[in-house]
Structure 1
Amino acid sequence: MYSENFLQLVKYALIGILGLIVDFGVYMIFTYFNVDVEIANVISSTCGIINNFFWNSYTNFKVHDRLLLRFISYFLVGQITTVFTTGSLFIFVTKLGFPHLVVKIVATFVAVLIQFVINKVITFRKSRD
């Protein structure tokens, strides 16, 4: 009934929600203790990226070969989008004074869309072996 791509997107979104819980939970803990939003974002995003890689690898895309290379690829894609969200926080929160949670939510939403496309095409493509 639904295409494999659509089902993977739905699973990716559900796993992403779990990752957001990890990300925002860690972020809130760090910001509660007055850690700079940029530093809190790098740490929390990294935790979410690691969490999501393993869930996507084993339950969504179901590819386990070359796991270290796939992890490096996923992690680098995640860190590129972490740079995007951290830059957004720096510009809109630190420089312009916007509320940090609003900026984090909007920037994270954009980052997730970018990540899905790149990870679907590169990180979790099936081997031709």
Structure 2
Amino acid sequence: MQIEDIKNFLKKKPEKTFHQFLRYLVAGGTATLVDLSVLFALYQFLHINHLVAAAVSYCCGILTNFTINVLFVFESSGRIKKEFIIFASVGAIGLLWTEFILWSLSDKLGLPVMLAKIIAVIFVLFWNFFMRKKLVFRK
């Protein structure tokens, strides 16, 4: 996805897209709380490797996010299985981004794991929104 694609996409219905993005932020915020809570519990209390814990917590966040997005943010086409497969595929790429950013910031630069995760979440948020809107919940 190019910057021009995003600009053209936003020009079509800017107000609707803005309100939808706000709902997406609420849904994503809820999913992020689930993600960070699971990561914290697995990493801090169960002492699971931070990259493994981040992958598990990310999957929990994706399930939460999909449920909220279908109910609250985007209009579903009614083909839930197909939507979930595409949603999860976009999420899998988001997971790769998350793991790469987490590894780079925590393992290579020495940032605390939770701070590195929050930075990754901010980056991946935009990727997930635009790709899911374009590929999963398009009309």
Aligned partner of 1:91 in structure 2 is 104
Distance (Å, rounded) in 1 between the aligned partners of 2:18 and 2:101: 29
Q: Distance in 1 between matches of 2:127 and 2:31?
A: 15
Work out whether residues 22 and 48 of structure 1, in 8 Å CA contact, stay in contact via their aligned partners in 2: yes
Amino acid at match of 2:58: S
Tell me, in whole angstroms, the C-alpha distance in 1 between the residues paired with 2:80 and 2:89.
Answer: 14
Q: Say whether the 8 Å CA contact 2:77–2:137 is kept in structure 1.
A: no
Quick one: distance in 2 between partners of 1:108 and 1:24?
10
TM-score (norm 1): 0.91
CA distance in 2, matches of 1:80, 1:97: 24
What is the deviation of 1:60? Answer: 1.2
Give 1:96 shift.
3.1
Residue equivalent to 2:21: 9
- Partners in 2 of 1:105 and 1:89 — Cα distance? 9
The answer (yes or no) to whether the contact 2:54–2:99 under 8 Å persists in 1 is: yes
Q: In the alignment, which residue of structure 1 is the partner of 2:50?
A: 37
Deviations 1:96-126 (A, max 9, x none): 3221111111111000011100011111112
Structure 1 runs not aligned, ≥5 long: none
Mapped partners of 1:96, 1:60: distance in 2: 36
Cα shift at 1:64: 4.5
Identity of aligned residues (%): 29
Mapped to 1, the partners of 2:137 and 2:67 lie a distance apart of 12
Instruction: Kindly report structure 1 stretches of 4+ aligned residues shifted beyond 3 Å.
Output: none
Aligned residues: 125
Is the CA contact 1:58–1:64 (under 8 Å) kept in the aligned structure 2?
no
Contiguous gaps of at least 5 residues in structure 2: 1-13
Whether the 8 Å CA contact 1:77–1:115 is kept in 2: the answer is: yes
Deviating more after overlay: 18-27 vs 84-93: 84-93
For the residues of structure 2 that align with 1:59 and 1:51, how far apart are their CA atoms?
12
Q: Aligned AA for 1:74?
A: F
CA distance in 2, matches of 1:90, 1:63: 35
Give the match for residue 60 of structure 1. 73
Normalising by structure 2, what TM-score? Answer: 0.85
